[in-house]
Amino acid sequence: MKYEFPKDFWWGSAASGPQTEGAADVDGRKPSIWDHWYQEEPGRFFNNVGPTNTSNFYYQYKEDIQLMKETGHNSFRTSIQWSRLIPDGIGEVNPKAVEFYNNVIDEMLANGVEPFMNLYHFDMPMSMQELGGWENREVVSAYATFAKTCFELFGDKVKHWFTFNEPIVPVEAGYLYDMHYPNVVDFKRAAQVAYHTTVAHALAVKEYHALNQDGEIGIILNLTPSYPRSQNPADLRASHIADLIFNRSFLDPVTKGEFPADLVAILKEHDAVPVHTEEDLAVIKHNIIDILGVNYYQPRRVKAKEYAAHPDAPFMPEHLFDNYEMPYRKMNPYRGWEIFEKAIYDIAINLRDNYGNIPFFISENGMGVEGEDRYRTSEGSIDDHYRIAFIKDHLRWLHKAMDEGANCKGYHLWTFMDCWSWANAYKNRYGLVEVNLDDNYKRTIKSSGRWYKELSENHGFEV
């Protein structure tokens, strides 16, 4: 059977500035929260590997864009680092950064790779964090200025813009679960961060549409379907709550212009309603996205609470549901994530039926594997057959959803080349292209990269 996709389908991959560029302390860039946290607590990072050099894209972008072409890319998403372009968060623009990003964009366009540009990928400038980060309304305004600056500098060439990548992650990891800086555990502050992020997003959309640059603007959300253990009403209620908190908290306001009433009720019940204004709510209402990026990696499985939380424990979302481990689930043991390909279909059908069939694309999907060197062939490349199988299995379900009317425009793998992955550093490798950190960042195309070119050229694959 042939799984055929449209001729104008976007085939490519996604990355981010802080995870690939390196050059963290050159040409005027100033620290982000990652640089600061690494200096404070290097032991929180796998093998003590920090963000200073990452994958050296800043110096090797021309070679990398050639490799994108060799691996069948017609599009690629990365991000502009706020701390590189406007090093103090506000104020003067860094001319070296303007030169670099223009060079990258021009090189991509010259090689037939359409640039998809994201503005915020977890990388708050430390100068802005010192003001309180997303808890501070001044930082929201500074971000809107940063966004407008990017549109004015690069919008003549970049026609696909995204305000945030996975905005729920800084909320969860930075303000609930002590996984990212600033390592806060406080639900009310987390809710304020989420709300201000939504306002910042809407202001950026407003700025972009006001410029009439003949492009589109959206947001990248990691949608994690919440599956109930059973059809028991208590389990169904648990899955509904998890969906509200982790998916619809951002999905609804960016597509429908308002927060779900059930979510607002939960915030009221737990004294966590953010400080807000009617003016902000109007901005959210009237500045919805043109296109949605969907990152999908794993499902969320939940069940009704079995035991009440300790009365002295800080309130957490998991006080309203329990996570559920389904027996015999298929796992990626390196990342600790369940592999459940059908969820990509369920996401697409949900967008079709409940979100006006909004245009979307799969903006991330991928498989991180530790110790890939054991799959090295005699020719010296990595035979990552498991990654090819992973992509095929997800594309089958995506194809089915498109056959049933889902409005999907493309598929971007995470990621193009092995990159630094936050606190996990280089523990797991995700790339179509290997990066050898011990050999001057040497790039070698993996089996999946060769196959990905065939996928792109043939507009699909056969089974």
Q: Are 334 and 370 contacting, i.e. CB atoms less than 8 angstroms apart?
A: yes
How does pLDDT run along the chain (463 residues), one tens digit per residue?
Answer: 999 999 999 999 999 999 999 999 999 999 999 999 999 999 999 999 999 999 999 999 999 999 999 999 999 999 999 999 999 999 999 999 999 999 999 999 999 999 999 999 999 999 999 999 999 999 999 999 999 999 999 999 999 999 999 999 999 999 999 999 999 999 999 999 999 999 999 999 999 999 999 999 999 999 999 999 999 999 999 999 999 999 999 999 999 999 999 999 999 999 999 999 999 999 999 999 999 999 999 999 999 999 999 989 999 999 999 999 999 999 999 988 999 999 999 999 999 999 999 999 999 999 999 999 999 999 999 999 999 999 999 999 999 999 999 999 999 999 999 999 999 999 999 999 999 999 999 999 999 999 999 999 999 999 8
Catalytic center residues: 364
Q: Are 364 and 295 contacting, i.e. CB atoms less than 8 angstroms apart?
A: yes
Among candidate residues 382, 356, 354, 294, the one with its CA nearest the CA of residue 10: 294
CATH number at residue 248: 3.20.20.80
Query: Number of folded domains in the chain?
Result: 1
What gap in Å lies between CA 254 and CA 362, rounded to an integer? Answer: 17
Among candidate residues 219, 297, 226, the one with its CA nearest the CA of residue 252: 219
Range of the domain at 410: 2-462
Query: DSSP strand E in 180-241: where?
Result: 216-222, 226-228
Full strand arrangement of the beta sheet holding 322-323: 226-228, 300-303, 322-323
